[in-house]
Amino acid sequence: MAVLRSIPHPEACQPHRSFLMPALIQVKHRSNLEENGTEPSNRLKSAASGVRPRRLAILISHPVQYFSPLFRRLAEQPEIDLTVLYCSLQGAGTMNDPGFGVSFAWDIPLLEGYRYKALRNFWPGRLKGFFSCINPGVINELRKGAYDAVIIFGWGNLTNWLAFSGASLADVPWMLYGDTNVLKESGAKGLKPAIRRIFLTSLFRRTSAFLTSGGFNRAFYASMGVPATHCFWAPMVVDNESFAKGSKLAKASRIGVRELYGISPNMTLLLFSGKLVARKRPQDILRALRFLQAEFPLLGCLFAGEGVLRQRLQEETSRHKIANAFFLGFRNQSELPRIYACADCLVLPSVAEPRGVVVNEAMASGLPVIVSDRTGVWGPGDIVRDGENGFVYPCGDVRALAEAIRKLVNDPDLRLRMGKRSFEIIQGFTYEKCAGGILKALDSVVAVRHPQEQ
User: How high is the pLDDT of residue 13?
Assistant: 42
User: How high is the pLDDT of residue 447?
Assistant: 87
User: How high is the pLDDT of residue 253?
Assistant: 84
Tens of pLDDT, residues 270-300: 999 999 999 999 999 999 999 999 999 999 9
Q: What is the overall mean pLDDT for the chain? A: 87
pLDDT at 177 over 50: yes
For range 406-432, the mean pLDDT: 97
pLDDT at 34 over 80: no
Tens of pLDDT, residues 259-278: 988 899 999 999 999 999 99
CB 353 within 8 A of CB 332: no
Paired strand residues for 95: 104
- Residue spans in the chain of domains classed CATH 3.40.50.2000: 24-237+430-453, 240-426
Q: Count other Cβ atoms within 10 Å, centred on residue 9.
A: 14
What is the C-alpha separation between 169 and 172, in angstroms, rounded?
Answer: 8
For range 51-76, the mean pLDDT: 94
Q: pLDDT-based confidence at 247, cuts 50/70/90?
A: confident
CATH number belonging to domain 24-237+430-453: 3.40.50.2000
CB 115 within 8 A of CB 345: no
pLDDT at 373 over 90: yes
In this structure, are strands 116-118 and 80-86 parallel, antiparallel, or unpaired? parallel
Q: pLDDT-based confidence at 101, cuts 50/70/90?
A: low
Backbone angles phi, psi at 352, to 5 degrees: -145, 100
CATH number belonging to domain 240-426: 3.40.50.2000
User: How high is the pLDDT of residue 171?
Assistant: 95
